[in-house]
Structure 1
């Protein structure tokens, strides 16, 4: 249920799946998975507790993440304002024909940064993992296993989302539909950014 809940990561995947087709969505999902891996490992090893307990560190990460999400949202608004002109033309396999290879790392980076700059994900790990842990020498190993399970489940769900967007590519290829979806994802990203900025530790 945790990985199914929509959030900033889902909005970024939708945005990049619309722009870059299947490759855009998969690259973004891979970046998010690496971000989850970093945050899950930090939480399991106890580093995450330092971040969430330090008001200064938490606020810095939170503000950086909020600004980044708002910036991605503004990019989506700009694309929508141009009528989806930045979306490119889909190839038969659902990938955007314009700049697919050149933007692969950019999509990966957006997924990674949207995740790793969100301290609420770290706080989520720290609130959920301890419920399944018990005192003993295996606690750290068990925490890592649980964290990595969340990473795998999250990646699997994100790839399902990408596949669903790819299946609907004929409908999504319409300029008006893509423009509307760009505006919706832009609104969602800015909303998540504002929510993150007003969140407290």
Structure 2
């Protein structure tokens, strides 16, 4: 095995620190869990995990480096990500401004599973910083002469698995607090917070 278990343990510690840091994926999941309930949150997590698996596998197989080295492709992906994060952020801010909430959290839009999956997936795959993260971290734990493709894929997809587990824990907390979150002023505040954060992440990605 190219990567020892001790090295894998160090890798796990680093990955845990990376996945618990708030980012666009976390904000998208929170936004959709508030607007579309637990199903929306789960759909978002599935989309985010799928994006992580795609990014991680591409990096492990060497395809990610090709994207990062292509200035045109990287720039197009970055600006698409900027536009999409800002779009999601403005949606949340508009909801906060209108304050039109009724019934239980997500009761009005439980059928938007595919939309939530799509938003989670696109927020991940259109963020080139995710790919750069994989390309920056993986080489530190991979020995090209000894590490097999299977081992490289294991390391890469560990990020997606742990990231999904972390988001599931956050979703559990949100669902446990649904009575409190159902209060109109709380939901407006949460929409305003997630919307501002998403626009901020978009601006940071543009810089």
Q: How many residues align?
A: 191
1:137 deviation in Å? 5.3
Shift of 1:135: 2.9
| Structure 2 counterparts to residues 40-189 of structure 1, below 5 A | 40-83=56-99, 85=100, 88-90=102-104, 96-101=106-111, 103-136=112-145, 138-189=147-198
Contact 2:33 2:106 in 1 (8 A): no
TM-score, length-normalised on structure 1?
Answer: 0.92
5+ long unaligned stretches in structure 2: 1-16
The answer (yes or no) to whether the contact 2:83–2:202 under 8 Å persists in 1 is yes
CA-atom RMSD in angstroms: 1.2
More helix by share: 2
- Contact preservation (8 Å) 1:19, 1:88: no
The 8 Å contact of residues 14 and 25 in structure 1, kept in 2 or not, is answered as yes
CA shift for structure 1 position 140: 2.2
Deviates more, 1:69-78 or 1:47-56: 47-56
1:30 to 24, 46, 49: 46
CA drift of 1:98 comes to 1.4
Task: Flag as ranges the 4+ runs of structure 1 deviating above 3 A.
Answer: none
Cα distance in structure 2, aligned partners of 1:175 and 1:6: 24
Cα pair distance change 1:122/1:153, threshold 3 Å = same
Q: Whole-Å Cα distance in 2 between the matches of residues 30 and 20 of structure 1?
A: 15
| TM-score (ref. length: structure 2) | 0.89
Deviations 1:55-109 (A, max 9, x none): 11111100000000000000001100111x2x5522xxxx6221312x1100000
Distance 1:115 1:25, change over 3 A: same
Cα distance in 1 for partners of 2:144, 2:56 equals: 19
